[in-house]
Amino acid sequence: MVYCNNVANIATQFNVTKMHLENFSAEDLLRKANLKVTKWRKVLLQKIISSPNGLSYSDLSQSTEFEGHRVTLYRALIDLEEAGLIEKLRDASGTIIYMLITSESKSHKLHPHFSCRMCNYVICLTDINLPSVVLPAGYTKEQVICLVYGLCDKCNATIA
């Protein structure tokens, strides 16, 4: 894993990308991904669409819709992930969260993320390229994960 350092000084150079998820319907996305539209896939995808900053497995399993349906939830998550609709990321607390892949975010593996250490809010930093990493001879790169930890604007305002 590669972690970004000294990013605070470049923080003013980019605009935070706000995703317009309200334009997506779960049913459309399932169809486009060639997935059969089932009740649970639809419910799950709709929840992830309406949570642009990600949802953890416990957020989902404790929700009213999925209470008592853990296996169904687990399977639906795998289906959506395999179909390229959602992706797993880690927030500042190390918790795995599920985020929708949109035309703006593309793959979340292609850009860094910011996660607030107080509220775990996650945003995509799509304007920043991941650092190019030169590895020693004989090593191959598979993935670069760049997570910027800090405080979001709301948390900064509460401690000011």
Residues that bind Zn ion (CB under 5 A): 105, 108, 116, 118-119, 121, 124, 152, 155
In the chain, the amino acid numbered 104 is E
Burial grade of 22 (CB within 10 A; 0-12, 13-18, 19 or more): exposed
> Residues 108, 114, 119, 120: is their CA dihedral positive or negative?
positive
User: Smallest distance from the beta carbon of 103 to Zn ion, in angstroms?
Assistant: 12
If the CB atoms of residues 7 and 119 are measured against Zn ion, the closer one turns out to be: 119
Closest by CA position to 32, among listed 104, 80, 92, 89: 80
If the CB atoms of residues 33 and 130 are measured against Zn ion, the closer one turns out to be: 130
User: Smallest distance from the beta carbon of 139 to Zn ion, in angstroms?
Assistant: 26
User: Smallest distance from the beta carbon of 25 to Zn ion, in angstroms?
Assistant: 21
If the CB atoms of residues 53 and 105 are measured against Zn ion, the closer one turns out to be: 105
